[in-house]
Amino acid sequence: PTSSQVTSDMSCVQLNTTPVVCRRSVRNTSAIKRAACRHCSIRCESKTIDESCVVVNDRQTSQTSRRSLLGLSAAAIGTTAAPKPSFAALFGGKNNLQAAFEAAMKVQDDPVALEAAWTECIRIAPNNAALYGNRGTVRLGLKRFQEAFEDLEKARDLERAAYGYASGFTMVALGNARGALGDWESALEDFDAAQEDEYPGVKALAMSSTALAKFELKQDTEAVSVAKSVLEEAPDYQDIQAALAGLLWAAGDKKGAQTNSDAIGGNDVLQNFVTIEQDTFGWPPRTIAAVNAYLSESSTGSAIGYDGVSTTYTF
């Protein structure tokens, strides 16, 4: 579409006369930390994106993973459902942001280079909320938790100043950063705020984050209840179903743990989940330990914490 055809939800943004860059401040990956960052760089004129999936580098990612959702939490440029801004408002009057953005797209599989690329974008457009969100997400994956928190807090503040609210993806990412720094109580407030965003996938993402935060705080009964509520609304949400196997094991519900493991394909698949989540901190440590306890049919399980130290938990 031409710039005059861009809709108010800004799912596409015309950059001068260059091709439209597709960007949905959609759902997730984790990672916010959570797993690898993903950014929508597909041309709008050649791809169709609906609410059930998102095209990422010519691949479709299903809405079954907190990691996949969070990796997409920060849009490449702009914020969904915002009023259509001027080019100067988006890019600070600079014409070279697209080149910097495209450079970032080329190094998505190299977190160190990607962090540097988003830093360059921020140098060009220092008041662009999405750029801080993108860099914050990358920094979470790099385990630079304090810097990630500062970026995501900046993204939240800029979004609120520009649009009157912060996106649910930004708030979930910010909560995860707080949690990594040890403040899960405040993280719960961020996850609650995220649920005010009605964008598809956000509520399930925020609720699943709430469940894992409560489990980290040893509010086990509430954690299980919230996790089950997520699956009632999103029955194909495999990430939280995998985690629920550990939560139920910790609660003494061996049959329920096995049922949830079977639902995602069995213990071998669950082992793959926990391996990835540990590497990316896709789940908080206590959840990882609980799943490890289930897989070893033990009352204890271990996980590496955000400080890099392995801790054994008893359930």
Please indicate whether residue 64 or residue 307 has the higher confidence score (pLDDT): 307
**Residue reference for tokens 């109580």:** 185
d(CA 43, CA 4) in angstroms, rounded, equals: 17
The tens digit of pLDDT for each residue in 7-64 reads 333 333 323 322 222 222 322 333 332 222 323 322 233 333 333 322 223 333 333 4
Q: Which of 280, 237, 8 is nearest to 143 (CA)?
A: 280
pLDDT for residue 122: 97
Residue 72 has pLDDT above 90, yes or no: no
pLDDT for residue 311: 98
Confidence grade of residue 95 (pLDDT, cut at 50, 70, 90): low
pLDDT for residue 29: 33
Is residue 225 within a helix (H) or strand (E), and if so which, with residue range?
helix 220-233
pLDDT for residue 190: 98
Residue 69 has pLDDT above 90, yes or no: no
The tens digit of pLDDT for each residue in 129-185 reads 999 999 999 999 999 999 999 999 999 999 999 999 999 999 999 999 999 999 999
pLDDT for residue 91: 44
pLDDT for residue 6: 30
Contact 165, 159 (CB under 8 A): yes
Q: Residue 55: what residue type?
A: V
Residue 75 has pLDDT above 80, yes or no: no
Residue 121 has pLDDT above 70, yes or no: yes
Least confident of 39-43, 97-101, 160-164, 204-208: 39-43
Average pLDDT, the chain: 78
pLDDT for residue 1: 32
pLDDT for residue 96: 86
pLDDT for residue 63: 38
pLDDT for residue 225: 98
- Each as own residue / partner, the long-range contacts of residues 183-189 (CB below 8 Å, 24 or more positions apart, any chain) are 184/213, 184/216, 184/217, 184/284, 185/217, 187/213, 188/213, 188/214
Confidence grade of residue 66 (pLDDT, cut at 50, 70, 90): low
Please indicate whether residue 72 or residue 202 has the higher confidence score (pLDDT): 202
The tens digit of pLDDT for each residue in 230-256 reads 999 999 999 999 999 999 999 999 999
pLDDT for residue 73: 43
pLDDT for residue 258: 98
Could you write out the three-class secondary structure of 114-170?
Answer: HHHHHHHHHHHCCCCHHHHHHHHHHHHHCCCHHHHHHHHHHHHHHHHHHHCCCCHHH
**E strand spans, the chain:** 12-13, 21-22, 53-56, 59-62, 300-304, 310-314
Q: For the chain, percent helix, then strand, then coil, each to nearest 5?
A: 55, 10, 35
Residue 82 has pLDDT above 50, yes or no: no
d(CA 71, CA 208) in angstroms, rounded, equals: 15
d(CA 74, CA 242) in angstroms, rounded, equals: 25
Residue 269 has pLDDT above 90, yes or no: yes
